[in-house]
């Protein structure tokens, strides 16, 4: 079996990636400090606890498992928190990724798949974003991810570290078999917060801003099913294995939905009312983030077939209602 080191494998996207890797015949080795992940989400391969900034521990892991590649998910990812505490983001995301990349190069593990974000593009109103767009992040989270992209390019030029960078749009949904799912503490994402409100676990969902320059005044996002997203990662890994070179791919569907549209669809899928209140804008939020790229489909062969709002909300709802949700 071929080992793949999965940083952040105990988190939402990382745990789904571990399942996809194991289905594809790889052994995912999770490396996670459990600061935002959950040990019981590690179900598809070995677990090693550790921080990205702990070089000695990373050297030990590379020596013990001899991974063929790294999938690097581990990161802090809350836009609002990154505005209040940017130092956390530069330390954990940027310094942590630097340490990981240095350890990978030292170990001769030269294929890396990296989780980046459409937040690196910033607020480019009414533009469909493709990989060639300029990157002007408006929050420290996006800035930290853009810096890591820059480091990857330098590391390739100097040390031959090949990489596939995936710029995610809004990841949603859960494993349809509900083996793993989304559970953040605290939760900040629209769909799980809405399901909590529907379920009476919180009073209401607050809509952050109703005065945006969009048809219904609320922000527009491009939602992609987490299972589609991680399938792209397996394709990205195979792309590197085949020696096809470093690449950047957006992972979005090209269709945007407003916050109000997501609320309406959630009411329809769950057949329940969504209690809402209208609030002010949230700092750091972009008006509209929608992918304008078909590169992943054309070149990687990616087919985001599960990324309908109905399926994403339905799978998230099933996970929400499963026993796993209550920690």
Binding residues (CB under 6 A) for ligand UFG: these are 77, 79, 117-119, 141, 170, 188-190, 193, 205-208, 219, 221, 259, 282, 285, 289
Task: Find out whether 265 and 309 touch, Cβ atoms under 8 Å.
Answer: yes
Measured in degrees and rounded to the nearest 5, phi and psi for residue 274 equal -105, 110
Q: Which residue is nearest to ligand UFG (CB)?
A: 219
Residue among 109 and 194 whose Cβ is closer to ligand UFG: 194
Nearer to ligand UFG, 79 or 248 (CB): 79
293: exposed, middle or buried (Cβ count in 10 Å: 0-12, 13-18, 19+)? buried
CA–CA gap between residue 185 and residue 187 (Å, rounded): 5
d(CA 298, CA 294): 6
Q: For the CB of residue 173, give the shortest distance to ligand UFG in the complex, in Å.
A: 12
**Of the two residues 188 and 321, which places its CB atom closer to ligand UFG in the complex?**
188
26 catalytic residue (yes or no): no
Helices (H), the chain: 12-23, 55-65, 79-84, 86-89, 96-107, 140-159, 190-198, 226-241, 259-270, 295, 309-321
Identity of the residue, 70 or 289, whose beta carbon is nearer to ligand UFG in the bound complex? 289
Rounded least distance, CB 301 to ligand UFG, Å: 25
Q: Could you tell me the smallest distance in angstroms from the CB atom of residue 39 to ligand UFG?
A: 22
Task: Output the smallest distance, CB 139 to ligand UFG, in A.
Answer: 8
Q: What is the DSSP string of 21-38?
A: HHHTTEEEEEEE--SS--
Catalytic residue (choose from 12, 26, 141, 223): 141
Catalytic residue ranges: 141
């Amino acid at each position: 079996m071929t080992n793949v080191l999965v940083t952040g494998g105990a988190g939402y996207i990382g745990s789904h990636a571990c399942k996809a890797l194991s289905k594809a015949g790889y052994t995912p080795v999770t490396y996670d400090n459990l600061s935002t992940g959950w040990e019981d989400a590690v179900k598809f391969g070995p677990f090693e606890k550790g921080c990205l900034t702990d070089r000695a521990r990373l050297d030990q892991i590379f020596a013990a498992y001899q991974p063929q590649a790294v999938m690097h998910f581990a990161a802090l990812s809350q836009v609002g928190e990154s505005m209040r505490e940017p130092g956390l983001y530069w330390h954990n995301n940027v310094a942590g990724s630097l340490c990981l990349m240095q350890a990978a190069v030292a170990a001769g593990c030269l294929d890396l798949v990296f989780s980046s974000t459409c937040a690196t593009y910033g607020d480019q109103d009414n533009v469909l974003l493709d990989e060639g767009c300029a990157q002007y992040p408006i929050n420290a989270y996006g800035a930290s991810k853009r810096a890591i992209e820059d480091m990857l390019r330098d590391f390739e030029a100097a040390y031959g570290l090949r990489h596939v960078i995936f710029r995610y749009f809004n990841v949603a949904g859960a494993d349809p078999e509900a083996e793993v799912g989304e559970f953040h503490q605290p939760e900040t994402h629209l769909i799980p917060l809405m399901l909590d409100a529907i379920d009476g676990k919180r009073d209401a969902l607050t809509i952050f801003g109703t005065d945006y320059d969009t048809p219904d005044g609320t922000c527009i996002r491009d939602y992609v099913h987490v299972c589609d997203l991680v399938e792209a990662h397996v394709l990205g890994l195979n792309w590197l294995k085949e020696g096809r070179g470093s690449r950047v791919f957006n992972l979005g569907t090209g269709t945007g939905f407003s916050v109000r549209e997501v609320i309406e669809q959630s009411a329809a899928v769950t057949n329940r009312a969504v209690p809402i209140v209208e609030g002010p804008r949230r700092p750091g939020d972009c008006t509209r983030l929608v992918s304008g790229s078909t590169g992943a489909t054309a070149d990687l062969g990616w087919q985001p077939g599960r990324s309908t709002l109905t399926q994403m909300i339905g799978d998230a709802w099933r996970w929400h209602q499963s026993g796993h949700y209550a920690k």
